[in-house]
Amino acid sequence: MSERAKNRHWNSAAAILRMVFPDSAEPEKLRVYRVWEIWPKVVGAANARGAQPTKFRNGKLFVTVFHPALMQELQFVKGRIRKRLNHYIGADLISQIYFVRGSVRSDDLPLQPVPQRTLPEFRDVVIPPLENPQVKAAFASLLAAHRRRVAKIQSGE
């Protein structure tokens, strides 16, 4: 015989949650809180560092945004963000998204490394084919002067 069958006073975790949070005990309503988990995936890591969901009430998701330019950018794709959030949640719980200006904590989000471009050594730089001989001569002169300056610095003069 199980412990639960022996003691009828024990309640399941779901029953306790229903007692503590009678308005939010439905699993359907609790799904919306996945927004905080999936936000970086939906808007991208860079946007998630500057804009984060702060509260959800009556179908409205409030998102605090760090910079007005980012707020405007997010306004343009607000409908797409709402659709993607509802898709990942698995229900149409978010009816509107409101962006508000404020400070954002981005400590929890991992920084993405910036891809580094590899440039050729300066001594390997050549002037591309140019039709205008005056422009070609100006670039050649500029490149030669820069090479002399770099050589002077490297020799310690």
pLDDT one-digit tens code per residue, 23-79: 654 666 677 888 988 999 999 988 999 999 999 998 899 999 999 999 999 999 999
Residue 148 confidence (pLDDT): 85
Contacts made by residues 32-41, CB under 8 angstroms, sequence distance 24+: 32/56, 32/61, 32/89, 32/93, 32/94, 34/88, 34/89, 35/61, 35/85, 35/89, 35/94, 38/85, 38/88, 38/89, 39/85, 40/109, 41/88
Q: Using pLDDT thresholds of 50, 70 and 90, give the confidence band for residue 21.
A: low
Give phi and psi for 37, each to the nearest 5. Answer: -75, -40
Residue 10 confidence (pLDDT): 72
Report the residue count for the chain. 157
pTM of the model: 0.54
If you average pLDDT over residues 81-104, what whole number do you get? 92
Residue 29 confidence (pLDDT): 67
Summarised one tens digit per residue, pLDDT across range 103-151 is: 887 665 555 565 676 756 666 677 778 888 898 888 888 888 888 887 8
Q: Using pLDDT thresholds of 50, 70 and 90, give the confidence band for residue 18.
A: low
If you average pLDDT over residues 95-102, what whole number do you get? 94
What rounded mean pLDDT belongs to the chain?
80
CB 25 within 8 A of CB 18: yes
